[in-house]
Amino acid sequence: MTDVRYDRAPGDIPSEEARAWAPSEALVYTIGLLVALILTATSFWVANTSLLWPGGVGLGLAVLAIAQMGIHLVFFLHISTGPDSTNNVLALAFGLLIVFVVVTGTIWIVADLNDNMLMPSSDAMNMQMQRRSHE
Amino acid sequence: MNIALTVDSVQQEALPSASEAGPAPKRIVVAYGFWIFLLSDIVMFAALFASYAVLVHATAGGPTGAQLFNQTTVAIETACLLVSSYTCGLMSLAVNSRNRLGTYLGALITFGLGAAFLTLEVREFADMIAHGATPQRSAFLSAFFTLVGCHGLHVTLGLIWLVVMMVQVAVMGFVANVQHRLLCFSLFWHALDIVWVGVFTVVYLMGVSL
């Protein structure tokens, strides 16, 4: 009766009744290790092969890395979609939002600045000079 | 008898709200707080990744990543860290079942693989610096040493932490506090492996192939 169910701590192993049907924990870690090894090997292969279209290599590597991070989160850190893991997932989602904003924002803004700093070809310069002299 | 059983099952179905249940056990609170810290650490790494991505072509006429990086070393480093993450997971299983021998064995293998990773990384850095690729050489190298060095510093701290934890297990046994710290350590170690996935993809593989 006093059996209160709390959220699960991140990285913690599910309680006994919750994993009555689930595979043993050692098996979970082993599956995670094997999948991660396959993804890592694929990443190294993609970076070195000449079979793939060179323009797609970067995207392929990014997809493989994100997949492997997901595998690590699920199999090693035990982040799940279960109701007892909601707080952990929400914190992770907020962290990922900040990571996304920082990375894409920095790359985008600095690339834009870079273009504006380096671009002035003689034409653009002349146009600006002319506009200024008309004012 | 029957009625009592029914009442029992009903109460199990309807969970008490958080305010009725009171604060969560310390194990959950501690691990959740440490999870928040890890996420903020990952945000810091995201900033370092972003500055590296911005500066990767700013080599100032110095060596580029494709000339400096040795993929074999990186592959061995990656394997070391990945397997040490696995043995760290097995160690936390041994901790949960209060298996002293398993804990020491898991910690020993984890430490050995982490130390091997660190040795390879330090040797790689020393090799680069011996060839004139110092952090002062170009913005690209400054960003490289900051990002990869920061990860290496985390691994170093993790190794020291692991030694401290083993001393605590030896002296204090599997008391609640030690178990909480061991749970935080395994979270830390797994998170470092996730950051390394980003490092070997963005820095080494993309640096060599793009």
Taking one residue from A and the other from B, the number of pairs with CB-CB distance under 8 angstroms is 150
Instruction: Write the CB contacts of A76 (distance below 8 Å, at least 6 apart in sequence).
Output: A11, A29, A32, B85, B86, B89, B190, B193
User: Does residue A1 lie within any of the structural domains?
Assistant: no
Q: What's at B95, amino acid-wise?
A: V
Task: Please give the pLDDT value at position B1.
Answer: 44
Domain boundary residue, one of A34, A56, A80: A80
Contact list, A76 vs chain B (CB under 8 Å): 85-86, 89, 190, 193
Task: Please give the pLDDT value at position B16.
Answer: 65
The answer to whether the CB atoms of A29 and B83 lie below 8 A apart is no
Using DSSP's 3-state secondary structure scheme, residue B52 falls into helix
Task: Please give the pLDDT value at position A127.
Answer: 55
What's the rounded Cα separation, in Å, for the pair B129 and B71?
Answer: 18
Do both A11 and A75 map to the same domain? yes
User: What interface predicted TM-score (ipTM) does this complex get?
Assistant: 0.84
Q: Is B130 at the interface with chain A, CB within 8 A?
A: no
Domain spans of chain B, in order of start:
68-210
Q: Give the number of other CB atoms < 10 A from CB of residue A13.
A: 17
Q: Which of residues 61-120 of A touch B (CB under 8 A)?
A: 61-62, 64-65, 68-69, 72-73, 76-77, 87-88, 91-92, 94-95, 98-99, 102-103, 105-107, 110-111
Instruction: Write the CB contacts of B47 (distance below 8 Å, at least 6 apart in sequence).
Output: A102, A106
Percent of chain A at pLDDT above 90?
Answer: 47
Condensed to tens digits (0 to 9), the pLDDT of residues A36-67 reads: 999 999 999 999 888 888 888 999 999 999 99
Domain boundary residue, one of A34, A53, A80: A80
Q: Which of residues 94-113 of B touch A (CB under 8 A)?
A: 96
Nearest to A68 among B86, B191, B197 (CB): B197
Do both A126 and A90 map to the same domain? yes
What is chain B's pLDDT, residue by residue, as a tens digit (210 residues)? 455 544 455 445 556 666 677 788 888 899 999 999 999 999 999 999 999 999 998 888 889 888 899 999 999 999 999 999 999 999 999 999 999 999 999 999 999 999 999 999 999 999 999 998 999 999 999 999 999 999 999 999 999 999 999 999 999 999 999 999 999 999 999 999 999 999 999 999 998 876
CATH number of B68-210: 1.20.120.80
What's the rounded Cα separation, in Å, for the pair A47 and A52?
Answer: 9
Q: What are the percentages of helix, strand and coil residues in chain B, rounded to 5?
A: 85, 0, 15
Do both A70 and A13 map to the same domain? yes
Task: Please give the pLDDT value at position A16.
Answer: 57
What's the rounded Cα separation, in Å, for the pair B171 and A14?
Answer: 28
What's the rounded Cα separation, in Å, for the pair B208 and B210?
Answer: 6
What's the rounded Cα separation, in Å, for the pair B24 and A5?
Answer: 9
Do both A76 and A90 map to the same domain? no
The answer to whether the CB atoms of B83 and A43 lie below 8 A apart is no
The whole domain housing A41 covers: 7-80
Task: Please give the pLDDT value at position A1.
Answer: 41
The token pair at B34 is: 């440490």
Do both A44 and A31 map to the same domain? yes
Do both A70 and A100 map to the same domain? no
The answer to whether the CB atoms of B198 and A69 lie below 8 A apart is yes
Do both A71 and A94 map to the same domain? no
Contact B80, A133 (CB under 8 A): no
Domain boundary residue, one of A50, A65, A80: A80
Do both A105 and A59 map to the same domain? no
Contact B65, B207 (CB under 8 A): yes
Contact B28, B36 (CB under 8 A): no
Q: What's at A100, amino acid-wise?
A: F
Q: For chain A, how many structural domains are there in total?
A: 2
Task: Please give the pLDDT value at position A81.
Answer: 82
Do both A11 and A74 map to the same domain? yes
B133: left (phi over 0), alpha (psi -120 to 50) or beta: beta
Q: Which positions of chain A have pLDDT values less than 70?
A: 1-5, 14-23, 119-135
Nearest to A12 among B31, B202, B206 (CB): B31
Q: Report in angstroms the alpha-carbon separations of B126 from B131, B193, B196.
A: 9, 23, 20
Task: Please give the pLDDT value at position B169.
Answer: 95
